[in-house]
Amino acid sequence: MDQPAISDGCCAGVWDALIIGAGPAGSMAARHLAACGRRVLLLDRSRFPREKVCGDALAPDALAVLQRAGLAERVQRIGHGVDGLRVFSPSQIEAEIRGSFLMLRRRALDALLAQAAIEAGASFRLAEVRTLEIDSGGQVTCGVAETERPIRARAALVATGANVCLIDRLGLVARRQASGIAARCYVRSALQLDHLVFSFERSALPGYRWIFPLGQGLYNVGCISFARTKAVRSTNLSRMFSKFTGGFPLASELIRRGEVLTPLRGARVRTGLTGAELAGRGPIVAIGESIGSTFPVSGEGVGNAMESAVLAADVIHEALSCPGACDLQSFATRITTTMRQRFRSYESIERWMCKPRLNDFVLGRVAKSRMLRQAFSRIINDQIDPRSVFSYRALWRSLWG
Ligand SMILES: Cc1cc2nc3c(=O)[nH]c(=O)nc-3n(C[C@H](O)[C@H](O)[C@H](O)COP(=O)(O)OP(=O)(O)OC[C@H]3O[C@@H](n4cnc5c(N)ncnc54)[C@H](O)[C@@H]3O)c2cc1C
């Protein structure tokens, strides 16, 4: 991975696009714009390959974006395929649902995506961005910690994940508070699990705990809490995690027959496509988790982060082709039209799954009804709108399915 430190050469001239943050959103946007022939500078404050706290699960929507970008095969070659989930309700009702996931540690995925951006022609540098401004000519001026010389660009994408300091200074943050917090660690165990395991134990709601197999006896084990406001700040993830490994039989067994390899590490999540101004400011827009592109309830966000990146890259490419200052306002309409509906659907799932009794009822029905299990598989595979299943009418119909 070639990620030199920022040099004076980066500060000479004007880049077409500056992209801050090389997570899935930033790297995918950089690859897309560079492939369109744009001069792109991609910056990240961490030296790659780097760790990122995540569940490491790529859902079908993420695989579809990778497929469209021509990267699915490369990712599949190093990932571990999983073809189903075991979901446990608060009363321990278990439902098994089919669905194709690819497990890949973010250290490897993010390095692969950054490498793909470099191969498409983007310049990737190690730098921590401190300031981002729009000058009188409508261009972007960026200050980094490593040099006093400013970097200039015609457009900029902020892809800094749940860290929204930069866009906050531009007045683009409507809600500073994260939507939730999550933590994970890696475990090696002799226990063989070949499904993703989700546990909606009562004490985890609103949220869940998970065991995700990465292959060869390695597991990503963690918990996520969407408790609101003050509760988010006071949620004690290590207590949540201990309850899981102490009280949930599969997790206890996993630990008993193995060893915890890494400390529990936590991170914030921003969900619901809310919390930030989608229209950005002139030639600057934010993408990925910075604009809340992670789904509520599931906490799955890699696919959406990349999708928001491709949409923004298209908007930048079009705007740069027009004369005059670059204006990216149309990104708001583009992303709302393409993605908002899906978020509404996940909000409807949230209403059902975050209440213990409704969660028991839904998973009880799923455990008994083949029709519902098939419908759930189709939701996971992004083939039907979840609202066609998460309704009293659909669940009632399932009594005969
Ligand atoms: C515990 C946990 C489990 C999760 N599990 C899953 C899962 O299994 N599947 C899934 O799809 N999603 C999961 N998510 C959500 C997923 O991690 C995010 O949706 C995704 O990482 C968002 O990608 P991004 O590119 O927007 O931001 P990020 O991946 O967070 O990347 C942001 C990048 O910006 C860089 N950066 C930040 N500030 C600056 C700065 N000032 N200057 C330069 N660089 C900067 C950072 O170093 C980082 O590399 C999980 C999240 C958590 C917290």
Full set of structural domains in the chain with CATH: 8-54+107-177+271-348 (3.50.50.60), 180-269 (3.30.9.10), 351-400 (no CATH)
Single pTM value for the model: 0.96
| 209 close to ligand 1 (CB < 6 Angstrom) | no
Helices 302-321, 60-68: axis angle to 10 degrees equals 30
3-state secondary structure 311-351: HHHHHHHHHHHCCCCCCCCHHHHHHHHHHHHHHHHHHHHHH
| 270 close to ligand 1 (CB < 6 Angstrom) | no
Whole-number pLDDT of residue 66 = 98
Closest CA to 327 of 392, 277, 375, 281: 281
Residues 231, 300, 343, 352, CA torsion sign: negative
| 46 close to ligand 1 (CB < 6 Angstrom) | yes
- What are the residues whose beta carbons fall under 8 Å from the beta carbon of 291, sequence distance 6 or more? 270, 273, 275, 276, 278, 308, 335
Predicted confidence (pLDDT) per residue in 221-268, tens digit: 999 999 876 555 566 888 889 999 999 999 999 999 999 999 999 999
CA of 400 to the centre of ligand 1 (A): 43
Whole-number pLDDT of residue 228 = 72
CA of 287 to the centre of ligand 1 (A): 11
CA of 212 to the centre of ligand 1 (A): 18
Whole-number pLDDT of residue 173 = 96
Q: Whose CA is nearest to atom 22 of ligand 1?
A: 289
Q: Which atom, in ligand 1's list, is nearest to the CA of 290?
A: 26
Q: What's at 278, amino acid-wise?
A: L
| 163 close to ligand 1 (CB < 6 Angstrom) | yes
| Contact present, 107 and 52 (Cβ < 8 Å) | yes
The three-point CA angle 133-137-140 to 5° equals: 30
The region of weakest confidence among 125-139, 271-285, 366-380 is 366-380
- What are the residues whose beta carbons fall under 8 Å from the beta carbon of 322, sequence distance 6 or more? none
| 23 close to ligand 1 (CB < 6 Angstrom) | yes
| 284 close to ligand 1 (CB < 6 Angstrom) | no
| 274 close to ligand 1 (CB < 6 Angstrom) | no
Two structure tokens written together for 327: 């204006």
Maximal CA-CA distance, the chain: 70
Whole-number pLDDT of residue 398 = 65
Is the pLDDT assigned to residue 269 strictly greater than 70?
A: yes
